[in-house]
Amino acid sequence: MTAVKTPVLWTTGAPGAGKSTTAWGLYTRIAESGGNVAYVDIDQLGLIGPPPGGGEASHAIKAANLLRVLEILRGRGARQLVVSGIVDPENGIEAYFEGRDFELTLIRLTCARDELRSRFLERGSPAAALPDLFAVAEAYDRTGFGERLDTTGQRPDETVDVLCRRCVVEDGPVLPPAAVEPLPGPVTVVTGPTAVGKSTAAFSALRDFWAQGEPVAYVDLAQFGFVHPGPDPAVEAAILAAVWRGYRDAGARRLLVVAREFRSEHRQVFDEIKVVHLDADAATLTERVRRRAEGESALLAGDELRGVPSGVRDGVVARALDEAARMRHSRDDRVVLDTSGQEPAETAAALLAAVRQ
């Protein structure tokens, strides 16, 4: 009897075409409808350096990690998988799926060049990058991978409406992932309350490692948690292990992990870890929540702060303060850095020094 293949809907296209917004909209729509679904941003599966790590090597690393992650999610019982991100404009992605138990639908989002330009600039990207943007768009048009969907003049929810009809919305049993064998490090985990500046500091440290030629990989654990029903620390741990294995195969010798909290399920992935915890006082956390809400950070899937009204912002501040107070009573073995009143560069420098000790 032929095994039923798990559907994968992948949105791709040039930066600004709406691939991440659309994919996230599909994931949330299916989850709200009770579907067993998972979402993966492929950009989160290729954060290894030092650059240059682009071209075929980068695409191959992402594709290999993606297939590892999709197998875990399929085994968990996902009825629909949603992926977003760039594919290799010269070679596509379809070949990686041949012989696998996945039914791939690759959707190439496009729009008129004037609208693409506006979308790109409105999300905060620099005007100096416009020639590169149009070069990518032209490469996609030339090779023609995937099914073309013109979104000119469409609102994001309208694009989601069109594609949701192509998705499976079904519930079903959730199965536990296989046990994870502990992996070697060195691994540094950066923890702390909401908006304390974990990602900003850790990514700055990562760039410093890359600048010095050190092969280091980076993981934002929150980006591995987009599963419904969820949350599920066990599946996050399984994905973390799979991606770190892929990065090690690609040459990484150190891993930086960002996590609000690093749970026992996550700890079991590694033989030995160093935890660096970022703390801050109430005034600093309140200010950093405001900055996040006003767009002073990279926009990632699941961001709860970008552009929210003041009432929602106040709720996040209250939660961040509660998290900080609770985390101060943790008895875990960790290095604590008080970042109160610091600018991002100061926190990044302190974190880098702690990692190198």
At 125 the pLDDT is 86
At 240 the pLDDT is 97
Per-residue pLDDT tens digits for 192-237: 999 999 999 999 999 999 999 999 999 999 999 999 999 999 999 9
End-to-end CA distance of the chain: 56
The average confidence (pLDDT) of the chain is 92
Per-residue pLDDT tens digits for 309-353: 777 888 989 999 999 999 998 878 899 999 999 999 999 999 999
Average of per-residue pLDDT across 74-101: 93
Does the pLDDT at position 279 exceed 80? yes
**Helix (DSSP H) and strand (DSSP E) numbers for the chain:** 11, 11
Does the pLDDT at position 297 exceed 90? no
pTM of the model: 0.93
What is the C-alpha to C-alpha distance for residues 236 and 247, in angstroms, rounded to an integer? 16
Nearest to 183 by CA among 258, 255, 75: 255
At 295 the pLDDT is 73
Give the burial class of 310: count Cβ atoms within 10 A of its Cβ; 0-12 exposed, 13-18 middle, 19 or more buried. exposed
Residue type, 75: G
Average of per-residue pLDDT across 118-146: 91
What is the C-alpha to C-alpha distance for residues 175 and 232, in angstroms, rounded to an integer? 11
Average of per-residue pLDDT across 41-59: 82
Residues 6+ apart with CB under 8 A from 193: 260, 279, 280, 285, 320, 321, 323, 324, 327
Judge if the upstream peptide bond of residue 229 is cis by omega within 30 degrees of 0.
yes
At 222 the pLDDT is 94
Which alpha helices (H) appear in the chain, and where do they start and end? Answer: 19-32, 55-76, 113-122, 130-143, 156-164, 198-211, 233-249, 264-267, 282-293, 310-327, 344-356
At 1 the pLDDT is 44
With H, G, I as helix, E, B as strand and everything else as coil, classify residue 12. Answer: strand
Average of per-residue pLDDT across 53-82: 90
Largest CA distance in the chain: 63
Residue bearing the bigger pLDDT, 309 or 176: 176
